[in-house]
Amino acid sequence: MNKTTIGAYGPWAASLTQGALPRLSFRRSEFKSLSEWRKKALAKALELVAPPPDSSISDARVERHWEYDGLSIEAVSWRLQAGPRTEAVFMKPAGARGKLPAVLALHDHGGQKYFGYAKNVRTGARMHPVLTAHQKSAYGGVGWASELAKRGYAVLSHDTFAFGSRRVRYADVLKAVGGGRREPRESSAADIEAYNRFAGAHEHVMAKSLFCAGTTWPGVTLSEDQRALDYLLSRREVDRNRVACCGLSGGGLRTVYLAALDHRVKAAVCVGFMSTWRDFLLNKSWTHTWMTYAPLLPNYLDFPEILALRAPLPALVQSCTEDPLYTVPEMKKADRILKAVYAKAGAPENYRTLFYGGGHKFDLKMQADAFEWLAKALE
């Protein structure tokens, strides 16, 4: 017997849906009308993802403004209904005039919860060594969101739920959960590593508590990303008809949910987060964050069919054949599913997957391809 993530129970669990298309798959023969299918599937997906109701931002403000490396940069923040203020950075080319195409740059997970949006950007000559190492490993040594802004975009990158400014503080959790730890006065690499270990171990606690509250981790993240989108669209510099989102890994996951469930996003680039529920079930669930899972959703849509809810709006997926977070056969199956949905939607040209060698990354070559695709998609 092949080994699975849940041992001898794997084949049985896989058999629960094997051989049948999910109930709301557009690939099913009974769905003829794209608009009618999407209306029904969107409603079910939102029901199961269960974003918190009545979410809105308040007290949005610019904290400071400066210029660096050809960019006009603003540190901004806003308040949500719970938790610390959300911190973000808004960037555009220095001296830019008129309405600009815009991108919501969604930061990764990467086991790095102490930092959020800072993983995406370069906003000054000095940067924390932990961030320098992370960008070297994941992004070819650059802040990819800053590089995109230099190409003529208005770019917003924000901390989302449980990351960076929105992270869970030691002082706010029960001693039995936090172990009596104290926030460090200075953020040494050792302190950050210790926090990230705590935050990783805390994920299952957070997920279970969110289920008890009637929501899910992807639902809370979706809600916070939508509020960031609200802010981006409120900026006078932004062309509301040319707005995209993009991200690697956890940012790719966030792209799947946001671009699927909020069609104000006109183009989407999902990097390093595309496979099937079967892949997670049998092979890879242990490698992934609780941010991924919405209970019962696999009964209705396979994972790539979440992103396909945006068809015929443009979507690009970038995957790496040696990425340890997925298996190649299931990544390619996800590609076939997306192609089938976009073809049935009458827009095969609006979907593309690019495969690369190497591991889990969004390197300079991948960035160049993504930026070129975005420019065409937002024309």
CATH number where 91 lies: 3.40.50
Quote the CA–CA distance of 287 and 289 in Å, as a whole number: 7
Length of the chain: 379
| Joined tokens for residue 215 | 């929501």
What is the pTM assigned to this prediction? Answer: 0.96
Reported as half-sphere exposure (CB side, CA atoms, 13 A), residue 316 has a value of: 25
Assigned domain for 108 exists:
yes
Assigned domain for 295 exists:
no
Domain that holds residue 253: 58-210+221-275+358-377
pLDDT digits (tens, 9 = 90+) for 333-353: 999 999 999 999 999 999 999
Assigned domain for 299 exists:
no
Total count of domains within the chain: 1
What is the full DSSP assignment across 111-143?
Answer: T--S-SGGGT---SS---HHHHHHHHHHSTTS-
Assigned domain for 151 exists:
yes
Assigned domain for 92 exists:
yes
- Give the contacts of 198 (CB within 8 A, at least 6 positions apart): 170, 178, 179, 181
Assigned domain for 362 exists:
yes
| Joined tokens for residue 252 | 């790719």
3-state helix, strand, coil in the chain (%, to 5): 45, 20, 40
Assigned domain for 104 exists:
yes
| Joined tokens for residue 256 | 């799947």
Assigned domain for 290 exists:
no
Quote the CA–CA distance of 52 and 161 in Å, as a whole number: 12
pLDDT digits (tens, 9 = 90+) for 26-47: 999 999 999 999 999 999 999 9
| Pick from 80, 87, 152: nearest CA to 117 | 87
What pLDDT, on the 0 to 100 scale, is given for residue 186? 72
What are phi and psi for residue 73, nearest 5 degrees? -125, 135
Q: Find the Cα–Cα–Cα–Cα dihedral 95, 97, 99, 100, rounded to 10°.
A: -30
What is the full DSSP assignment across 210-277?
Answer: HHHTT--HHHHHHHHHHHHHHHHHHSTTEEEEEEEEEEETHHHHHHHHHHHH-TT--EEEEES----H
N-term to C-term CA, the chain:
52
**pLDDT by residue, tens only, the chain of 379 residues:** 589 999 999 999 999 987 789 999 999 999 999 999 999 999 999 999 999 987 789 999 999 999 999 999 999 999 999 999 999 999 999 999 999 999 999 999 999 999 999 999 999 999 999 999 999 999 999 999 999 999 999 999 999 999 999 999 999 999 888 888 888 777 899 999 999 999 999 999 999 999 999 999 999 999 999 999 999 999 999 999 999 999 999 999 999 999 999 999 999 999 999 999 999 999 999 999 999 999 999 999 999 999 999 999 999 999 999 999 999 999 999 999 999 999 999 999 999 999 999 999 999 999 999 999 999 999 8
